[in-house]
Amino acid sequence: MTKHIPVLLDSVMSALGDVRNRTIIDCTFGAGGYSRAFLEAGAKVIAFDRDTNVVVDAEKLKSEYRDKFCFINSAFSEISKLDKNDFDDVVFDLGISSMQIDNGERGFSFRFDAPLDMRMDTRLKTTAADLIRNLSEAELADILYEYGDIKKSRLLARLLKENSPASTFQLRDLIKNPNDVAPVFQALRIAVNDEMGQIKSALEDVHNMLRSGGKCICVTFHSLEDRIVKNTFRKWSEPLGDPRIPSVSVPEYKMLRPAVPTPKELNNNPRARSAHMRAVQKV
Protein backbone atom coordinates (compact mmCIF):
# COMPACT_ATOMS: atom_id res chain seq x y z
CA MET A 1 0.00 0.00 0.00
CA THR A 2 1.35 3.46 -0.96
CA LYS A 3 2.34 5.63 1.96
CA HIS A 4 -0.08 8.50 2.39
CA ILE A 5 1.56 11.92 1.98
CA PRO A 6 -0.57 14.97 2.89
CA VAL A 7 -0.90 17.09 -0.24
CA LEU A 8 0.02 20.80 -0.15
CA LEU A 9 0.57 20.60 3.61
CA ASP A 10 3.18 23.37 3.63
CA SER A 11 0.85 25.65 1.66
CA VAL A 12 -2.04 24.91 4.00
CA MET A 13 0.07 25.62 7.08
CA SER A 14 1.34 28.86 5.52
CA ALA A 15 -2.21 29.99 4.75
CA LEU A 16 -3.34 29.22 8.30
CA GLY A 17 -0.44 31.07 9.91
CA ASP A 18 0.03 30.82 13.67
CA VAL A 19 -2.45 28.20 14.86
CA ARG A 20 -1.42 28.04 18.51
CA ASN A 21 -4.49 27.86 20.75
CA ARG A 22 -6.81 27.91 17.73
CA THR A 23 -9.35 25.17 17.04
CA ILE A 24 -9.29 23.77 13.51
CA ILE A 25 -11.88 21.55 11.87
CA ASP A 26 -10.16 18.94 9.72
CA CYS A 27 -13.09 17.90 7.56
CA THR A 28 -11.31 14.98 5.88
CA PHE A 29 -9.19 13.13 8.44
CA GLY A 30 -8.01 10.34 6.14
CA ALA A 31 -4.68 9.06 7.46
CA GLY A 32 -4.46 12.00 9.85
CA GLY A 33 -1.63 13.90 8.17
CA TYR A 34 -3.28 17.31 8.38
CA SER A 35 -4.65 16.75 11.88
CA ARG A 36 -1.23 15.71 13.20
CA ALA A 37 0.44 18.77 11.66
CA PHE A 38 -2.15 21.08 13.20
CA LEU A 39 -1.74 19.45 16.61
CA GLU A 40 2.05 19.59 16.46
CA ALA A 41 1.78 23.31 15.67
CA GLY A 42 -0.22 23.88 18.87
CA ALA A 43 -3.80 23.82 17.65
CA LYS A 44 -6.78 21.88 18.90
CA VAL A 45 -8.45 19.74 16.23
CA ILE A 46 -11.94 18.42 15.58
CA ALA A 47 -11.75 15.93 12.71
CA PHE A 48 -14.48 14.46 10.53
CA ASP A 49 -14.36 11.39 8.31
CA ARG A 50 -17.18 9.13 7.21
CA ASP A 51 -14.85 6.21 6.43
CA THR A 52 -15.03 3.71 9.29
CA ASN A 53 -11.61 2.34 8.28
CA VAL A 54 -9.84 5.44 9.61
CA VAL A 55 -11.18 5.08 13.16
CA VAL A 56 -8.12 3.12 14.32
CA ASP A 57 -5.73 5.90 13.22
CA ALA A 58 -7.98 8.50 14.83
CA GLU A 59 -7.95 6.62 18.13
CA LYS A 60 -4.14 6.49 18.05
CA LEU A 61 -3.99 10.25 17.60
CA LYS A 62 -6.54 10.68 20.38
CA SER A 63 -4.34 8.65 22.74
CA GLU A 64 -1.43 11.00 22.00
CA TYR A 65 -3.23 14.34 22.25
CA ARG A 66 -6.22 13.51 24.48
CA ASP A 67 -8.46 16.55 24.96
CA LYS A 68 -6.75 18.47 22.14
CA PHE A 69 -8.19 16.10 19.54
CA CYS A 70 -11.74 15.00 18.83
CA PHE A 71 -12.81 12.65 16.04
CA ILE A 72 -16.31 12.40 14.58
CA ASN A 73 -16.97 9.39 12.34
CA SER A 74 -19.44 11.19 10.10
CA ALA A 75 -19.49 13.02 6.78
CA PHE A 76 -18.28 16.61 6.89
CA SER A 77 -21.76 17.70 5.83
CA GLU A 78 -22.59 17.15 9.52
CA ILE A 79 -20.46 20.19 10.43
CA SER A 80 -23.64 22.21 11.03
CA LYS A 81 -24.21 20.18 14.20
CA LEU A 82 -21.20 21.88 15.79
CA ASP A 83 -21.63 25.13 17.65
CA LYS A 84 -20.14 27.96 15.60
CA ASN A 85 -18.14 29.01 18.65
CA ASP A 86 -16.40 25.61 18.71
CA PHE A 87 -13.77 26.42 16.07
CA ASP A 88 -11.67 29.10 14.36
CA ASP A 89 -10.65 27.59 10.99
CA VAL A 90 -11.80 24.80 8.70
CA VAL A 91 -9.77 22.75 6.21
CA PHE A 92 -11.03 20.41 3.48
CA ASP A 93 -8.79 17.93 1.65
CA LEU A 94 -11.34 16.81 -0.90
CA GLY A 95 -11.70 13.74 -3.09
CA ILE A 96 -10.56 10.19 -2.53
CA SER A 97 -7.61 9.22 -0.34
CA SER A 98 -4.61 7.08 -1.25
CA MET A 99 -5.68 4.48 1.31
CA GLN A 100 -9.09 4.11 -0.33
CA ILE A 101 -7.60 3.75 -3.81
CA ASP A 102 -4.93 1.28 -2.72
CA ASN A 103 -7.33 -0.93 -0.79
CA GLY A 104 -8.29 -3.17 -3.69
CA GLU A 105 -11.22 -4.76 -1.89
CA ARG A 106 -13.18 -1.51 -1.80
CA GLY A 107 -13.71 -1.27 -5.54
CA PHE A 108 -12.40 2.26 -6.12
CA SER A 109 -9.64 1.25 -8.54
CA PHE A 110 -9.64 -0.63 -11.83
CA ARG A 111 -6.16 -1.93 -10.94
CA PHE A 112 -7.71 -4.56 -8.66
CA ASP A 113 -10.53 -7.03 -9.30
CA ALA A 114 -13.10 -6.50 -6.55
CA PRO A 115 -16.83 -6.03 -6.01
CA LEU A 116 -18.00 -2.78 -7.58
CA ASP A 117 -18.53 -0.99 -4.27
CA MET A 118 -16.96 2.52 -4.08
CA ARG A 119 -18.64 3.54 -0.82
CA MET A 120 -16.49 5.84 1.31
CA ASP A 121 -18.84 5.07 4.17
CA THR A 122 -19.59 1.35 4.14
CA ARG A 123 -22.69 2.07 6.23
CA LEU A 124 -24.32 3.47 3.09
CA LYS A 125 -26.67 1.03 1.38
CA THR A 126 -26.05 1.80 -2.30
CA THR A 127 -22.89 0.57 -4.03
CA ALA A 128 -21.72 1.48 -7.52
CA ALA A 129 -23.11 -1.83 -8.80
CA ASP A 130 -26.48 -0.99 -7.21
CA LEU A 131 -26.39 2.44 -8.83
CA ILE A 132 -25.88 0.99 -12.31
CA ARG A 133 -28.61 -1.59 -11.74
CA ASN A 134 -31.23 0.75 -10.24
CA LEU A 135 -30.87 4.00 -12.17
CA SER A 136 -32.55 4.56 -15.49
CA GLU A 137 -30.38 4.66 -18.60
CA ALA A 138 -30.90 8.43 -18.87
CA GLU A 139 -29.99 9.02 -15.22
CA LEU A 140 -26.85 6.94 -15.57
CA ALA A 141 -25.88 8.79 -18.75
CA ASP A 142 -26.27 12.13 -16.97
CA ILE A 143 -23.92 10.97 -14.19
CA LEU A 144 -21.30 9.79 -16.69
CA TYR A 145 -21.50 13.06 -18.59
CA GLU A 146 -21.63 15.45 -15.64
CA TYR A 147 -19.08 13.79 -13.36
CA GLY A 148 -16.85 12.07 -15.92
CA ASP A 149 -17.19 14.27 -19.02
CA ILE A 150 -17.90 11.12 -21.06
CA LYS A 151 -18.80 12.27 -24.58
CA LYS A 152 -20.72 9.13 -25.59
CA SER A 153 -22.40 8.83 -22.21
CA ARG A 154 -25.73 7.53 -23.52
CA LEU A 155 -24.12 4.71 -25.49
CA LEU A 156 -22.00 3.73 -22.50
CA ALA A 157 -24.95 3.95 -20.12
CA ARG A 158 -26.91 1.58 -22.36
CA LEU A 159 -23.98 -0.85 -22.41
CA LEU A 160 -23.69 -0.77 -18.61
CA LYS A 161 -27.41 -1.28 -18.13
CA GLU A 162 -27.44 -4.23 -20.53
CA ASN A 163 -24.51 -5.95 -18.79
CA SER A 164 -24.93 -4.78 -15.16
CA PRO A 165 -21.25 -5.20 -14.12
CA ALA A 166 -20.73 -6.38 -10.55
CA SER A 167 -16.94 -6.10 -10.32
CA THR A 168 -14.28 -3.55 -11.17
CA PHE A 169 -12.77 -5.71 -13.92
CA GLN A 170 -16.19 -6.36 -15.45
CA LEU A 171 -16.78 -2.61 -15.59
CA ARG A 172 -13.29 -1.89 -16.92
CA ASP A 173 -13.62 -4.46 -19.69
CA LEU A 174 -16.96 -3.05 -20.86
CA ILE A 175 -15.44 0.39 -21.50
CA LYS A 176 -14.17 0.37 -25.08
CA ASN A 177 -12.18 3.61 -24.92
CA PRO A 178 -9.22 3.20 -22.49
CA ASN A 179 -9.23 6.97 -21.90
CA ASP A 180 -12.74 6.70 -20.47
CA VAL A 181 -11.94 4.11 -17.80
CA ALA A 182 -10.68 6.47 -15.10
CA PRO A 183 -13.42 9.10 -15.75
CA VAL A 184 -16.14 6.42 -15.54
CA PHE A 185 -14.82 5.17 -12.21
CA GLN A 186 -14.61 8.78 -10.98
CA ALA A 187 -18.17 9.55 -12.09
CA LEU A 188 -19.66 6.53 -10.35
CA ARG A 189 -17.64 7.16 -7.18
CA ILE A 190 -18.80 10.78 -7.01
CA ALA A 191 -22.42 9.73 -7.48
CA VAL A 192 -22.30 6.89 -4.93
CA ASN A 193 -20.90 9.23 -2.27
CA ASP A 194 -22.78 12.40 -3.29
CA GLU A 195 -19.43 14.19 -3.22
CA MET A 196 -20.55 17.40 -4.92
CA GLY A 197 -23.66 17.69 -2.76
CA GLN A 198 -21.57 17.12 0.37
CA ILE A 199 -19.15 19.90 -0.58
CA LYS A 200 -21.89 22.42 -1.37
CA SER A 201 -23.77 21.65 1.86
CA ALA A 202 -20.69 21.89 4.07
CA LEU A 203 -19.45 25.14 2.52
CA GLU A 204 -22.87 26.73 2.96
CA ASP A 205 -22.75 25.86 6.65
CA VAL A 206 -19.15 27.05 7.07
CA HIS A 207 -20.08 30.41 5.56
CA ASN A 208 -22.53 31.01 8.37
CA MET A 209 -20.43 29.49 11.16
CA LEU A 210 -16.89 30.83 10.66
CA ARG A 211 -15.65 33.34 13.22
CA SER A 212 -14.32 36.76 12.25
CA GLY A 213 -10.71 36.28 11.20
CA GLY A 214 -11.28 32.56 10.61
CA LYS A 215 -10.12 30.87 7.43
CA CYS A 216 -11.63 28.26 5.16
CA ILE A 217 -9.09 26.31 3.11
CA CYS A 218 -9.91 23.74 0.43
CA VAL A 219 -7.56 21.42 -1.42
CA THR A 220 -9.19 20.04 -4.57
CA PHE A 221 -8.09 17.40 -7.07
CA HIS A 222 -10.33 17.79 -10.11
CA SER A 223 -12.18 20.54 -11.92
CA LEU A 224 -15.62 19.69 -10.55
CA GLU A 225 -14.51 20.20 -6.94
CA ASP A 226 -12.37 23.20 -7.81
CA ARG A 227 -15.17 24.94 -9.70
CA ILE A 228 -17.53 24.65 -6.73
CA VAL A 229 -14.90 25.97 -4.31
CA LYS A 230 -13.75 28.77 -6.61
CA ASN A 231 -17.27 30.01 -7.36
CA THR A 232 -18.30 29.75 -3.70
CA PHE A 233 -15.29 31.72 -2.48
CA ARG A 234 -15.81 34.37 -5.16
CA LYS A 235 -19.41 34.79 -4.06
CA TRP A 236 -18.35 35.09 -0.42
CA SER A 237 -15.82 37.77 -1.38
CA GLU A 238 -18.31 39.99 -3.21
CA PRO A 239 -19.03 43.35 -1.52
CA LEU A 240 -22.09 43.55 0.70
CA GLY A 241 -24.45 46.47 0.87
CA ASP A 242 -24.97 49.14 -1.79
CA PRO A 243 -22.11 49.06 -4.36
CA ARG A 244 -22.81 52.74 -5.13
CA ILE A 245 -21.75 53.68 -1.61
CA PRO A 246 -18.15 52.46 -1.06
CA SER A 247 -18.24 53.18 2.67
CA VAL A 248 -20.92 50.54 3.24
CA SER A 249 -19.98 48.18 0.40
CA VAL A 250 -17.48 45.83 2.03
CA PRO A 251 -16.85 42.12 1.41
CA GLU A 252 -17.53 39.60 4.16
CA TYR A 253 -14.52 37.51 3.10
CA LYS A 254 -11.21 38.16 1.38
CA MET A 255 -9.49 35.74 -0.96
CA LEU A 256 -6.07 34.47 0.08
CA ARG A 257 -3.28 33.44 -2.25
CA PRO A 258 -3.99 30.09 -3.97
CA ALA A 259 -1.33 27.41 -4.33
CA VAL A 260 -0.36 24.41 -6.45
CA PRO A 261 2.29 21.77 -5.73
CA THR A 262 5.93 22.73 -6.16
CA PRO A 263 8.21 20.66 -8.41
CA LYS A 264 9.79 19.21 -5.26
CA GLU A 265 6.42 18.08 -3.92
CA LEU A 266 5.45 16.58 -7.26
CA ASN A 267 8.71 14.66 -7.29
CA ASN A 268 7.97 13.26 -3.82
CA ASN A 269 4.26 12.69 -4.41
CA PRO A 270 3.10 12.39 -8.06
CA ARG A 271 -0.52 12.02 -6.90
CA ALA A 272 -0.45 15.73 -6.00
CA ARG A 273 -0.15 16.78 -9.65
CA SER A 274 -3.77 17.96 -10.03
CA ALA A 275 -4.10 19.55 -6.59
CA HIS A 276 -5.15 23.17 -6.05
CA MET A 277 -5.45 25.02 -2.76
CA ARG A 278 -7.92 27.89 -2.39
CA ALA A 279 -8.51 29.88 0.79
CA VAL A 280 -10.59 32.72 2.16
CA GLN A 281 -10.59 34.64 5.44
CA LYS A 282 -13.63 36.14 7.11
CA VAL A 283 -13.08 39.85 7.68
Q: What is the pLDDT of residues 215-224, one digit of tens each?
A: 999 999 999 9
pLDDT in tens, 113-150: 999 999 999 999 999 999 999 999 999 999 999 999 99
Q: Establish if 99 belongs to a structural domain.
A: no
Q: Distance from CA of residue 182 to its chain's centroid?
A: 18
CATH code for the domain of 121: 1.10.150.170
Residue 203: how many CA atoms within 13 Å on its side-chain side?
27
Beta strands in 58-124 (DSSP E): 69-72, 89-93
CATH code for the domain of 32: 3.40.50.150
Q: Which of these three, 149, 167, 193, is where a domain ends? A: 193
Mean pLDDT of 217-237: 96
Mean pLDDT of 157-186: 95
Same domain, 205 and 135: no
Indicate if the pLDDT at residue 24 is higher than 50.
yes
Same domain, 250 and 274: yes
Q: Establish if 4 belongs to a structural domain.
A: no
Same domain, 43 and 118: no
Question: How many folded domains does the chain comprise?
Answer: 2
- Segments forming the whole domain that contains residue 88: 9-93+195-282
Same domain, 133 and 209: no
Q: Establish if 227 belongs to a structural domain.
A: yes
